[in-house]
């Protein structure tokens, strides 16, 4: 595994672990999701650059567009949570708590 | 040049650790800006200057600015930075994990592996990544129309989610 490949893989996995082990805020989970999307963008760009396959350059552009859509949907949910529950703390989302 | 790339890659991993250790969102957004900036320079080091510019403009200038404004929703009187023990424990744990995983691989890393060799097969007017992105408008036109439709749909989804009053997710506000 080349150092670059190792870096982007570990960036993606660290973001995923941060998303899984988030503590208080919903927003920090969304930020970890954004870090995963960033690692994916850099991975797709480096793929097309290192293989000299210029046709693959459209993949990171489209991925960025869809990741923007996903970020805006997540932030709209965050705003809705903050306006109904008062905070974005995960403890406030206790509808399924037994 | 190899040392520059080494520094950048280490900076990227440290930045993602600073986001994944879940400090207060103020500092996590700062860490994400660092990761995006360093990632842009990594892309430039491999020759993808157009994609790096796109990342800077759209990701940092568009998405992260919106995230920074939404960080105001996560305001708390004593925000936790990376000096707090609960966050520092996560940082040290992730560092240990990355160094441990890296120790598996770094036996086989040699000098020439850090920076790719530029292959000047021919001289061209259009850079590689710019020319590739231009394909999105010619051969990939169908997918361009589909993604424009998806963006419009997302706009309507967001407006519906934050509608308030009777319908939508905000009921009594």
**In a mutagenesis test of the B interface, which of A18, A56, A87, A89 is the best target, namely the one with the most B β-carbons within 10 Å?**
A18
- Helix and strand numbers, DSSP H then E, in chain A: 3, 0
- As given in the structure block, the two tokens for residue B120 are 């000047």
Q: How many CA atoms lie within 13 A of A91 on its CB side?
A: 2
Position A98 in a domain: no
CATH number of the domain bearing residue A76: 1.10.287.3510
Q: Do residue B56 and residue B86 come from a single domain?
A: yes
Q: Do residue B66 and residue B136 come from a single domain?
A: no
- Domain with A12 in it: 3-92
**A28-66: pLDDT as tens digits:** 999 999 999 999 999 999 988 888 788 888 999 999 999
Position A9 in a domain: yes
**B9-49: pLDDT as tens digits:** 999 999 999 999 999 999 999 999 999 999 999 998 888 88
* CB within 8 Å of chain B, chain A residues 22-51: 22-25, 27-28, 30-32, 34-35, 38-39, 41-42, 45-46, 48-50
What is the rounded average pLDDT of the residues B117-123?
Answer: 57
What is the domain count for chain A? 1
Position A97 in a domain: no
Asked if B25 and A27 come within 8 Å (Cβ–Cβ), the reply is yes
Position A79 in a domain: yes
Q: How far apart (Å, rounded) are the C-alpha atoms in residues A58 and A35?
A: 20
Position B173 in a domain: no
pLDDT at B74: 80
Q: Do residue B98 and residue B40 come from a single domain?
A: yes
Asked if B46 and A46 come within 8 Å (Cβ–Cβ), the reply is yes
Position B95 in a domain: yes
**B144-172: pLDDT as tens digits:** 999 999 999 999 999 888 876 666 555 55
Position B82 in a domain: yes
Position A34 in a domain: yes
Position A50 in a domain: yes
Q: Do residue B15 and residue B61 come from a single domain?
A: yes
Q: Do residue B100 and residue B157 come from a single domain?
A: no
Q: Do residue B135 and residue B94 come from a single domain?
A: no
- Helix and strand numbers, DSSP H then E, in chain B: 7, 0
Beta strands in B92-135 (DSSP E): none
Q: Do residue B10 and residue B65 come from a single domain?
A: yes
CB-CB contact of A45 with B69 (8 Å): no
Residue B116, helix vs strand vs coil: coil
Q: Do residue B44 and residue B95 come from a single domain?
A: yes
- Domain with B152 in it: 126-166
Asked if A66 and B147 come within 8 Å (Cβ–Cβ), the reply is yes
Q: Do residue B76 and residue B131 come from a single domain?
A: no
What is the domain count for chain B? 2
Q: Do residue B135 and residue B97 come from a single domain?
A: no
- As given in the structure block, the two tokens for residue A49 are 């650059």
Q: Do residue B74 and residue B141 come from a single domain?
A: no
């Amino acid at each position: 595994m080349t150092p670059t490949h190792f870096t982007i893989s570990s960036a993606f996995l660290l973001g995923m672990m941060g998303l899984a082990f988030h503590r208080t805020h919903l927003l920090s989970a969304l930020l970890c999701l954004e870090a995963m999307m960033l690692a994916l963008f850099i991975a797709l760009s480096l793929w097309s650059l290192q293989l000299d396959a210029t046709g693959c350059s459209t993949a990171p552009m489209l991925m960025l567009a869809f990741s923007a859509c996903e970020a805006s949907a997540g932030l709209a949910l965050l705003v809705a949570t903050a306006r109904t529950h008062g905070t974005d703390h995960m403890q406030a989302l206790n509808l399924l708590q037994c | 040049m190899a040392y520059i790339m080494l520094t950048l890659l280490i900076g990227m991993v440290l930045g993602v650790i600073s986001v994944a250790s879940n400090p207060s969102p103020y500092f996590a957004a700062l860490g994400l800006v660092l990761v995006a900036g360093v990632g842009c320079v990594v892309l430039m080091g491999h020759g993808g200057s157009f994609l790096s510019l796109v990342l800077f403009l759209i990701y940092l200038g568009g998405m992260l600015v919106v995230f920074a404004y939404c960080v105001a929703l996560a305001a708390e009187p004593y925000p936790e930075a990376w000096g707090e023990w609960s966050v520092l424990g996560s940082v040290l744990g992730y560092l240990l994990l990355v160094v441990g995983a890296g120790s598996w691989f770094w036996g086989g890393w040699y000098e020439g592996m850090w920076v790719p060799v530029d292959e000047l097969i021919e001289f061209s007017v259009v850079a590689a990544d710019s020319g590739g992105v231009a394909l999105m408008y010619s051969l990939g036109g169908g997918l361009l129309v589909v993604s424009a439709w998806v963006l419009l749909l997302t706009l309507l989804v967001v407006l519906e989610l934050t509608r308030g009053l009777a319908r939508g997710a905000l009921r009594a506000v």
